[in-house]
Amino acid sequence: MGDKVLVSIIMGSDSDLPVVKGGAEILEKLKIPFEITIISAHRTPEALCDYAKKAEERGIEVIIAVAGAAAHLPGVVAALTTIPVIGVPVKSGALLGMDALLSMVQMPSGVPVATVGINNTKNASLLAARILSLKYPEIKKELKVYIDNMKKSVEKKRSILESIGYKEYLEKMSADS
């Protein structure tokens, strides 16, 4: 694996960067090399075509495409490459991300875009890690540690809740935030 970038996170606008942050943090925790860039299906279509066609030869193995509104970014990329594309719809506009979600999940037959929930780049990064873990044992190991830590966190919370009761637990939660 080395320092070779395996995941590319692309977004149509820098306004999507706050949404991208959570996914980037997951990739960092899992020690997966990644890049983040801005490229628009509508405003820079030639650059997007060039990017998508060259991604595989650059070593990119999964693309996470973050987009709101019409959200053509993931679909266009998926049409131009065989690399797995994970779409992340962004909550925006009058439809609060539903338009982006539907444009990603309703791709025509033959052009798949794996799609996660609105603004859920964390799940997109975890899905990318699961895909990569099929090839890279070190990613599988990091993913197992991450999942085990989630399990331990839930077990700890359950234990505290059961020992102090829901009222004190809620008070503790509000005091911690």
**Model confidence pLDDT, tens digit, residues 93-111:** 889 999 999 999 999 999 9
pLDDT for the residue 1 = 66
Same domain, 40 and 100: yes
> Tell me: the pLDDT tens digits for 104-145?
999 999 999 999 999 999 999 999 999 999 999 999 999 999
For residue 29, what are the domain limits?
7-135
Same domain, 90 and 119: yes
> Tell me: the pLDDT tens digits for 47-100?
999 999 999 999 999 999 999 887 899 999 999 999 999 999 999 988 999 999
pTM for the full model? 0.93
From residue 101, how far is each of 36, 47, 85, 156, 160 by CA, in Å? Answer: 21, 24, 14, 34, 37
Is residue 140 assigned to a domain?
Answer: no
